[in-house]
Structure 1
Amino acid sequence: MSEQLSSYISEQINAGVPTEKIKAALKKSGWKDTAVLDALAALKGPTVVPGQPSKIGLYIGVFLILLALVGGGVFAFQRYSNSTSISVQLAPSTEVPVMEEMPESISEMVSEQDMYGTMDGREFMEESTHSAQTMIVGTDYAKMVEALAADLPSCSPRKISFTHFFDGTTQSKEIIGQKDKGCFYTETLPNGGKFECYFSDQQLTELTSSLLEEMDSYSENQEEGSLGFSYSSTESATANTNAWQNVYNDSNVCTLSGYGS
């Protein structure tokens, strides 16, 4: 799990997400502060300060200034020689190699500085895409959950699938329909876990209201997650903990099975 944590933090840092947002998302997912800080310390490297000139750029600037001074001196000397009719033979000049192109690394550094100067962490997360795995974030995921919640009171079948942000596995949330025990709802979880719930009509109404309140907070924060019917509005569960919060645990409405620690 520590390798997954380091890989996730490294990916977010390379994507330009601020460290505080990374720590907040991981804390909400159940990670301890000490584990997150240790992973960040291990990944910490030299900081690039936006707007700070590179040493290569400084060397180029000094070279151009010296070249201008030498050229001005030669021009003045030639004018003086012509006006006094004195023939002076100058020593052959030594050619100095001129850099025709700016090194690729400098161009990349400038483009990165420009990008981070005009785009904050939230906008970067919304605009970025991942070719290997599609990460559902912010309002897009919340809209899918809202549509699922709209069908819950009537127990109309609906299924959504998404890539879990923590481990990249494809998970699903599904209203299967009315069964003998009530409205049958199920969620698949990372590490092979599964929630199966049978809700009565009264529980459907209560749960829909609770879910929509949680979804509003989720949408405003623009955070990744796995919002679901089986969690309370105050605590969300993640792939690295067994402390799942079940709204109807006492009445055995929902059962958890196959979840690996």
Structure 2
Amino acid sequence: MEVDLIIENATVVTASDVHARQDIVVRDGKILAVGQDLKSIFSAKTTIDAQHAFVMPGGVDSHVHLDQDNSPTGDNFETGTRSAIAGGTTTVIAFATQSRTQESIHPVVENYHGRATGKSYCDYGFHLILTNPTPTILRDELPHYVREGISSVKLYMTYEPLKLRDGEILDVMMATRALGMTTMVHAENSDMISWITARLAEEALTAPYYHAISRPSIAEDEAVYRVISLAELSDVPILI
């Protein structure tokens, strides 16, 4: 049988084992077989000798900021995924941000697909950052994107353009619970941070050192406890 590619003499690393002197047979972009001496069974258009090299599954980076609206990002989908591939990461999950004024997430997903399509060097997906979780979005639009393969949302408890009230977080949690989505939360007490930041600014204490001072651990502790309580009330797991 003729195939597209055979990688021969590889040391294959899986999640649990290391297998020496393995051949990997690829057809139509998929692994067809892994084993020893497979060149005696298959002929290939291309053969790569991987002696003294490790071959392992591509990595998945599930927290990636690329070409994002709500904050400056160092990379777009082209430069970021080129770096990913160079380091062995073959799938990235980036963040697609809804703005506060958007009443629908349809244009959000379409916009971010436009940024990635034809530019990404690897597979990609999205976490949806919800900043305006309207009943229509939660009832009608989220189920559509679950069917399209988006399985997670990200919520913020701080940052003015992004943060949600507790009641809005509960609304989202009830929707994600019903849909089996992962609920991710950035948990910090927004009022504590704003209060401390204002007082530091009054004293002209604005050097980078004071960024950490403006965000003491208690601001995170309180928000984490609060969102865990909301999750317990909703009976939904969360990723903080």
Query: Higher strand fraction: Structure 1 or Structure 2?
Result: 2
| TM-score interval (norm. to shorter) | under 0.3
Q: Which structure is larger by alpha-carbon Rg, 1 or 2?
A: 1
The structure whose RCO (Cα within 8 Å, separation 6+) is larger is 1
Query: Higher helix fraction: Structure 1 or Structure 2?
Result: 1
Given the two structures, how large is their TM-score scaled by the length of structure 1?
A: 0.24
Given the two structures, how large is their TM-score scaled by the length of structure 2?
A: 0.25
